[in-house]
Structure 1
């Protein structure tokens, strides 16, 4: 005797399970990320270290600022650039590396443990899953970058105020510099996600993103070849560095200088390309 599985009107007694809302996917990604203590410890410590590096750099400069600086023949008088020292490259590189590692591990971590199969079994829409992951990683790293950038700017310029060298956020180029410095974290995190999606291996992903951010620019230096120089100028960290320069101090930027608008476009393009790569690869490749 067969079991009845339909109602009188011919429709199934069991209503189809509703599709998860995007907010639910964001909540699930947040739970995954915060459940790994190493994740937020790495982000918190890297943010603190970046701020300390910037503050310490300016603190060490105070003795030099207070010293005597005789003007040598043919050389311009001493001028101190608060932006270059207060938002320095060492701290930016550290923040970018930590964010890239964070972005990569959010992708390759699930593939390495096999958890991605459970995720896709619960939510077959892979594009929605990876989009939620991208949104959560971007949000977290934007907050990280904003904390580092604003804290570094205001702390270092407060230290320099007693020497009458501090800048205001309303001074020319300062808002742009703070915003660009903050965007280093999300841009690098999205690059890390792209490498994690393509390579799906911890060592390979971290090595790849380090090579992209720090080794590849070495091939595009100098002013001899215009095309190579222009490519180098619009790599992620180089584009951000161009935007953090103080316009009052860097009048000459070399033979083939990067433009402000081009640098903003470069950061947006790297971010968009990274998102597309991550979404397409995760959606089409087997788990």
Structure 2
């Protein structure tokens, strides 16, 4: 019996089958594990949600107490105290929801720059060379998680505040503008998370990403509030904060619209445009820059 040399035996051995390419569902599972393996994720989202809800509830409690001790209007007065009060605004207090915007954006950013900082991104792209698919999976998982968070916070804030204000003009979801406000507040979390992903992919630094997100979402709109020049106001109207403010405004509480008001349709367009551009920026930056 003839024995083949070791080199010939190795050559004659059948080659191992190539591993099957990762499917998108596998990428989704991997990104889910990455997101929830960070202990900070649970704490930041949990504490953030409770803080936002707590600020809104505190606003409702304060207003309910104030209205309960409001003296009766004098004879002939045309408006009751409740008519001068907007119950919808208590569910969407600006500082509370601005905090949620920053939290969502920071979590979105860390899903990208966190991998670059730890070097895990090299392993990810070695296993899945299709960078576009990786970013798509990240965006899908982050958007789903933030949508769930936004829905929880928005629904709880609206339900609890209106329950506390039931004797002072509290609203239901069927009230004009209420459902729109709840949906808009729920969607602002995934929107800001996608913006954070784009910033994280571009900046790739923890402090730099957070500062950039705050400047982009909260500080920049403050520079475009004037109405002297139309182009200044139009830029301000194109910001997510302006769109959110327009969508959560009670349509039954009249206020001067200003020179160049943002319509409801335009506000929804701003939401969609920012989300699409954010994903596009994240994909292009990750595809073109080295790890």
TM over 0.5: yes
- Secondary structure of 1:30's aligned partner: helix
Q: Which of the numbers 29, 32, 38 marks the counterpart of 2:31?
A: 29
Q: Which of the numbers 38, 59, 62 marks the counterpart of 1:60?
A: 62
* Counterpart check, 1:140 vs 2:145: yes
| 2:228 equivalent in structure 1 | 224
Quote the offset at 1:251 in angstroms.
4.5
| 2:18 equivalent in structure 1 | 16
Q: Deviations over 1:134-161 (max 9, x none)?
A: 1000000000100010000111111111
- Secondary structure of 1:171's aligned partner: coil
Structure 1 spans left out of the alignment, 5+ residues = none
Once the two structures are superposed, the pairs formed by residues 133-282 of structure 1 within 5 Å of their partners are 133-163=138-168, 165-282=169-286
Quote the offset at 1:171 in angstroms.
1.2
Q: Which of the numbers 120, 130, 140 marks the counterpart of 2:135?
A: 130
* Counterpart check, 1:83 vs 2:83: no
- Secondary structure of 2:140's aligned partner: helix
Q: Normalising by structure 1, what TM-score?
A: 0.93
Q: Deviations over 1:82-109 (max 9, x none)?
A: 1112211111101001001000111000
d(CA) in 1 for partners of 2:282, 2:184 = 23
Q: Normalising by structure 2, what TM-score?
A: 0.92
Q: Deviations over 1:15-66 (max 9, x none)?
A: 2211111111111111111111101210111011000100000101112212
Quote the offset at 1:222 in angstroms.
2.1
| Equivalent residues of 1:191, 1:274 under 8 A apart | yes
Once the two structures are superposed, the pairs formed by residues 89-128 of structure 1 within 5 Å of their partners are 89-128=94-133
CA RMSD of aligned residues (A): 2.0
* Counterpart check, 1:3 vs 2:8: yes
When Rg is computed on C-alpha atoms for both structures, the one with the higher figure is 2
Q: Which runs of 4+ in 1 moved over 3 A?
A: 1-8, 74-78
- Secondary structure of 1:220's aligned partner: coil
d(CA) in 1 for partners of 2:270, 2:134 = 26
Q: Deviations over 1:205-235 (max 9, x none)?
A: 1111110011101110122111111210220
d(CA) in 1 for partners of 2:139, 2:194 = 7
d(CA) in 1 for partners of 2:147, 2:262 = 24
d(CA) in 2 for partners of 1:90, 1:159 = 20
Aligned residues: 282
Quote the offset at 1:75 in angstroms.
9.9
| 1:39 equivalent in structure 2 | 41
